[in-house]
Chain A
Amino acid sequence: MKRIDHPDVTHGTVGEGLAQRGISRREFLEFCAAVTAMLALPPAMAGMVAESISRAKRQSVIWLSFQECTGCTESFTRSHSPTLENLIFDLISLDYHHTLQAASAEAAEHARLQSMKDNEGKYLLVVDGSIPMGNPGFSTIAGISNHDMLVETAKGAAAIVAVGTCAAFGGLPKADPNPTGAVSVGDIIKDKPIINVPGCPPIPVVMTGVLVHFLTFGSIPELDDLGRPKSFYGETIHDRCYRRPFYDQGKFAETFDDEGARKGWCLFKLGCKGPVTYNACATTKWNDGTSFPIQSGHGCIGCSESNFWDAGPLYKALSMPVSASSAMMGAAAAAGVATGVAITWHNRSTKASAKAAHEQVTTKDLVREKP
């Protein structure tokens, strides 16, 4: 890669790394302006963001992978390279990551312990995957259970980023009947700031945004009640969807290959979970802003929400019952008939016994009231 000498960059900083990689000041400022906008910060702060990132030391990051599919890592490393987002990732000091590190076995674990020692209280802990509580043996690394490794590594972390729906909420492993007893990072660690970056996988730029925020302000961004950065998870897919006008007009695709589907109408009837899913897919999109699931003709499955896997069938409209069946209604009607017959029988027998007990009243029964 082309090397550019910048006289005004400090040794060992992100700014130096960027300069070495041939990133011009203009490109870097454009990136900072974009991230500032995505973080919903005032535009005037772009300069401050740029300054802070340039001067920041390479942030030490320890990345732990538990019950996961590596999709999150794939998303971050291969989504749209080579871009500045990726380079920012290159410029963190990723001290430990199973999939990406060259070291293995003892050397790998040594790297983690060394980094924990060297950067005590300062390193960022990134976790992808859920933690099995059913049996420690379900998932181990170097003979250490996921639970123990998380607790040990979290102790000295400045903050934790739970990447992907598995780490943030338990995700797919936690889906009913949850055979491994999977839990999220937040279920175990209670005394550290945790940023949830859910999604299956999450949008890479969200991760970059969180990182930039951390490098700029030394703190975590504002979070919603599920621990997600509000700037990215503040609005639903449905509210930001370019197909939203069709929903309002009542124009829906009824099947995946009908005229409505070809015309790009709303996918609500095909089970789109956009209305209850908070994520930035509809605005930032994927693959360098190319598209997102709804744009490619498939409804949102709600992957950035907790327990989305158990939130009803993926292809049933949100307003459809999850499990009510005509058999249930039939049984209810039968129960209604049976009770109705019993009540009718009771009413009729009451009537009949009243009739039987009826006594003829004559004038002889009348008693004159005493004045």
Chain B
Amino acid sequence: MSHLDLLTFARGSALNWALMIFVAGVVLRLFEILGLGRKADLAKPRTDSPGSGWRTIFTRSLPAEGMLKRDPVTYIGGYVFHLGLLLTIFFSAAHIEFFHGMLGLSWPSLPSALIDTSVVAAMIALVMLLAHRLSNPVKRSLSGFGDYLAWTLTLLPLLTGYLAYHHLLFEYTLMLALHLFSVELLLVMLPFTKLFHTFSVFISRWYNGDIFGRKGTAS
């Protein structure tokens, strides 16, 4: 099997299965979470904080007062990583073509040099965050296998994409195939790991904001 054959498999059947598992998994998990339901809140809701749920979606993205100073690595690292990842996924020309192929939608891309910077920034942030997670006793004792798994699954596509673009480690076609495989691994695992926060984070933020608003303790 030549490298091109491997790439064709990665772009073909392997991708089809990964995408199908991803879509089915996301739908299934959303059903599972939302289907659990909540008991009816019989208490009369407080009215002093309307729209608390929606507001919380945004306010939780900002550090609470004094927290940025207390834990700059987590906050800044988190911002840099998420922003870098977002720019890379949605604004690389090659990635936009992927979405174009899947959804028929297309939008302007960013120059390769900028995407390259985003990838490097995201990877540095990931490494810093891992170092912090391991060195900070509180974070370390809060971390389990799922956290390290999520970290690895996220780093691999970034790393393989970077190596492929710069023609490092392996020959380009093979590296590109490995990049796709790493993305496929991420897609398959995402619905069933902590990475599902991609979909659940705003739902849970809304719920928290709303329930606290109703109880009069809105953030």
Contacts and interface: CB of A to CB of B under 8 A. Distances in A.
Nearest to B10: A322
A371 B15 CA distance: 65
Contacts of A319: 94-95, 97-98, 101
B102 A317 contact: no
B28 A336 contact: yes
B185 interface: no
A247 interface: yes
Q: Is the interface of A mostly helix, strand, loop or mixed?
A: helix
Nearest to B3: A276
Contacts of B100: 317, 320
Given A321-B12, A340-B31, 5 more contacts: A310-B8, A320-B98, A321-B11, A321-B101, A321-B102
Contact of B101 (A248, A302, A317, A344): A317
A347 interface: yes
**Closest 8 interchain pairs by CB?**
A340-B31, A336-B27, A344-B35, A320-B101, A336-B24, A332-B20, A319-B94, A317-B97
Contacts of B2: 169, 226, 305-307
B74 interface: no
B112 A250 contact: yes
A340 B5 contact: no
Chain B contact-residue range equals 35 or more
B102 A333 contact: no
Interface string A279-323: 000000000000000000000001001111011100011111111
A276 B7 contact: yes
Contacts of A239: 167
A347 B93 contact: no
Interface in B3-24: 3-5, 7-8, 11-13, 15-16, 19-24
Q: Which of B19, B30, B95 has the most CB of A within 10 A?
A: B19
A168 to B, nearest CB: 11
Contacts of A269: 93, 97
A326 B31 CA distance: 21
A323 B12 contact: yes
Interface in A211-228: 226
A276 B176 contact: yes
Given A248-B112, A312-B12, A333-B24, A305 B4 contact: yes
Nearest to A317: B97
5 contacts: A268-B94, A310-B8, A321-B101, A333-B24, A340-B31
A250 B109 contact: yes
